Amino acid sequence: MSFRTSCLVTCAAALSLTGTTLGAQTPPPVAEQITAAVQALPKEMRDGAGVMGYKTAGKLEWLRPTKNGMMCLADDPAEEQFHVSCYHDSMDPFMARGRALRLSGVKGGQVDTVRFAEVKAGKLKMPTAPASLYQIFGKKDAFDAVSGTVKQGNPLFVVYIPFATTATTGISTTPSDTKPWLMFAGTPKAHVMFSLTM
């Protein structure tokens, strides 16, 4: 089973990793967090991307502002796996709401149940154009601070198209390791999955 097939649930959740934590951990230096976080993006997009990370353990905050419409989340030192992600800022209301719900104790699929209801009620704004999300998953030591690169990470790239279906896009909903496919079709979280290699 490929990485891509095996992580349909965990990876598609994007910024919602809730695995076993390592407890309070001292965050790496801000510059190191920024360098690691933007590795998920194509090189030409890294310099202008905003980054949220940790100056204090457990507290996600801005490390630098967004200049090109892309924002990245640094690896959480409390998680046992390495995970960085970058997404178009038009997706931030949806992503930020998910983070807030999880912090309040809402778990699993209930997070999307709440968000979908809020989108339907007009309380949560979704983008009106496609919006990208780049991620890298790996072992905790995947980022090499000396070289400023991620070693043996598993990248995942998706494009959110809220409410997209096969009929509106011509993209199959059948999972594939070799072709783009549409996940969560017809919902606010609809997105096209792509396979990447590092």
Q: Tell me whether residue 196 is in a domain.
A: no
Provide the whole-model pTM: 0.86
In the prediction, which pLDDT does 152 show? 87
Residue 150 belongs to domain spanning: 3-157
Q: Please return the burial class of 44, using the count of CB atoms within 10 Å of its CB with bins 0-12, 13-18 and 19+.
A: exposed
151: DSSP letter: S
In the prediction, which pLDDT does 20 show? 41
Q: Tell me whether residue 75 is in a domain.
A: yes
Q: Tell me whether residue 179 is in a domain.
A: no
Kindly state the tokens that stand for 49. Answer: 């991307």
Kindly state the tokens that stand for 17. Answer: 């990793």
Q: Tell me whether residue 166 is in a domain.
A: no
Count up the domains in the chain and report the number.
Answer: 1
pLDDT in tens, 7-60: 443 344 444 443 444 455 789 999 999 999 999 999 999 999 999 999 998 899
Q: Tell me whether residue 152 is in a domain.
A: yes
Rounded to whole angstroms, the Cα distance separating 136 from 189 reads: 19
Q: List the chain pLDDT tens, one digit each, 198 residues.
A: 344 443 443 344 444 443 444 455 789 999 999 999 999 999 999 999 999 999 998 899 999 999 999 999 999 999 999 999 999 999 999 999 999 999 999 999 999 999 999 999 999 999 999 999 999 999 999 999 999 999 989 999 999 999 999 999 999 999 998 899 999 999 999 999 996 554
Q: Tell me whether residue 183 is in a domain.
A: no
